[in-house]
Amino acid sequence: MATPPLPALAAELLTTWFGVPGDEHHGRFRSIWFSSTPAFDEQLQLRFGEALAAARAGGLREWEAAGAEGALARIILLDQVSRNVHRGTALAFAGDVEVRGASDAPEPRAARAGKRGSGRGTPRGC
């Protein structure tokens, strides 16, 4: 059975977070990860806010079916984007339960997805 393609929004999220695939800076440290700005937080809210709400409610599991890149995109959405979009509120951590579910035992879903992934979304140096 073929792995489904990476959904466009998941690919966009990976590009937003890691940079453009193929660029020399793709996947390298980005200061925005640790010192965000209100403008970046707003950009994330506008582009990914609806997807974040859906994922927090248990949706977007089809991203994981697309392989490691999709699983990574869903984890970043629920963990990092949530912290940016809901900065300073308890809602920033509301996706944590779903993120922990992505690493459920005995074999994490992300690891199972990684067996089918292309590695496109894997940052260098990790």
CA distance 21 to 36: 22
CA distance 81 to 101: 17
Each residue of 54-72: pLDDT tens digit? Answer: 999 999 999 999 999 999 9
Q: Do 78 and 98 touch, CB atoms closer than 8 A? A: yes
Q: Do 98 and 39 touch, CB atoms closer than 8 A? A: no
pLDDT at residue 107 tops 50: no
pTM score of the predicted model = 0.78
pLDDT at residue 119 tops 70: no
Domain ranges of the chain: 37-121
